[in-house]
Amino acid sequence: MDNKITYIFSHFEQFYDIRLSDYNISYGKNTNAKIYITQSELVNIFKINQDIDTSKIIFKTWLNKNIPFVLDYNDNDIFTETNNQIKINFDIIGAAFYLLSGWDEFISKKTDNLGRHTYKNSIQSKLKIIDIPVVNYYYDILKTAIEKAYNIKINYRLKKPVLCLTHDIDNCQTAWAEAGMYELKKGHFFKVTKLILKRFFTKDDWFNFDKILEIEKQFGAKSSFYFLPQKGKTNNDFKNADYNIKSKKIQQAMLDIQKSGSEVGIHSAFNTHLSIDNFKKDLQKFKEKPLGGRFHFLMYNNPKTVTVLEKNDIKYDSTLGYSEHIGFRNSTAFPFYIYNLQNDKPSQVLEIPLNIMDATLYYKKYMQLEKSQILEKVNELLNETIKFNGILTLLWHNNFFSDYKYKGWKNIYIDILKSAKQKNFDLKNIKIIYNNLFKSF
């Protein structure tokens, strides 16, 4: 357990202005420590590669939220206080590791037809905690115990919460065809004509990077644009980009994005998440090596993908979110270094989890919310993130800024940014977050 304990303590220190080694804290060893954290017998699951029985998990209230202690089956008070000691009666360290590492995905063999772990089979779904960053609540328990035991105030390293803005660029040249067909089926013949004329006499309606940058400029925001290095369909008939990343048009767009202060990253092609060499080929199509990005179709394998990223010296990833549901896939509102469960040690790849995706809200096979419901659901996640000065990530594809097929979705994006600003969020791209907060770790 030593690597796992160090991993969790280090993660705690990345977000709180404190060194835990300066305080008398023991996890499962020194029962006389000033702060003693109980170690559950269930930590043995990490040795024998088993999972927990979710039907037996204990829930308790903390910060007015009912949260699960995923490695505890026996009820108790959260704290026991005496003159000389504060005892935390639940295994918040082992539980934090379970959720942060994606242990349930590592153990589970259940995937969809693309080999992805699904929300339906996740512990977040089983316990109905997808909208709660449970790990942050565990950390707040530890923070509170230290503050009580030593009569101190522990501050967050981040001065305010952050909303990371990202855009996956799957298609930017086929609005005239895809959106045109959609409008044709609706009987909007004038719109179809307009789309075709725009494509061939000016630019395709989805080639709208300047429009996105202008919207974000109004909010003082910077975002991340993730470009797909491979064009066309795969052998399995899955679509990659509708553009050539090396074309002069795309190269100029990428340059304009960078000049604006926004980031260009990699949206690596279908199935490259399993191949060190194929991912490397995608990287080589960029003039300047990206700091990080996100895999196409949110493809990710625990533990294979982290090795692909490490071997290619990628600094961060932002793939870990569920297509089917917005929320906290690894139950945290903090970025974290991916734990390599195969090698039993932390990787050097920072995960900035994906929390909210436009497609999740739009498509019938996912949540398909009414437009009037979206801001309320997003605000719930913003409010959870505020509690911990955390970091939330939003993905809005460039085609969702178009008034054809996706009419109204540009305004939803603007409303989200307005709401985040009103709640005192910084609006930044992931590169800024990595360089300012994590480069020194």
Question: What CA–CA distances, in Å, run from 58 to 39, 45, 53, 225, 251?
Answer: 15, 17, 11, 42, 54
Domain spanning 162-172+207-438: CATH 3.40.50.300: no
Query: What does DSSP say about strands 316-317 and 426-428: parallel, antiparallel, or unpaired?
Result: unpaired
- Residue 176 pLDDT > 90: no
The answer to whether the pTM exceeds 0.85 is yes
Averaged pLDDT score across all residues of the chain? 93
Name the token pair of 271. Answer: 């199935």
Residue with tokens 């357990």: 1
Lowest mean pLDDT among 180-194, 343-357, 387-401: 180-194
Exposure on the CB side of residue 119, measured as CA atoms within 13 A: 22
Phi-psi group of 368: left, alpha or beta (phi > 0 → left; psi -120 to 50 → alpha; rest → beta): left
* Mean pLDDT of all residues in 252-272: 97
pLDDT one-digit tens code per residue, 296-337? 999 999 989 999 999 999 999 999 999 999 999 999 999 999
pLDDT score at 181: 60
pLDDT by residue (tens digit) across 19-63? 999 999 999 988 899 999 999 999 999 999 999 999 999 999 999
CA angle 158, 162, 167 (to 5 degrees): 145
**Domain edges within the chain:** 2-150, 162-172+207-438
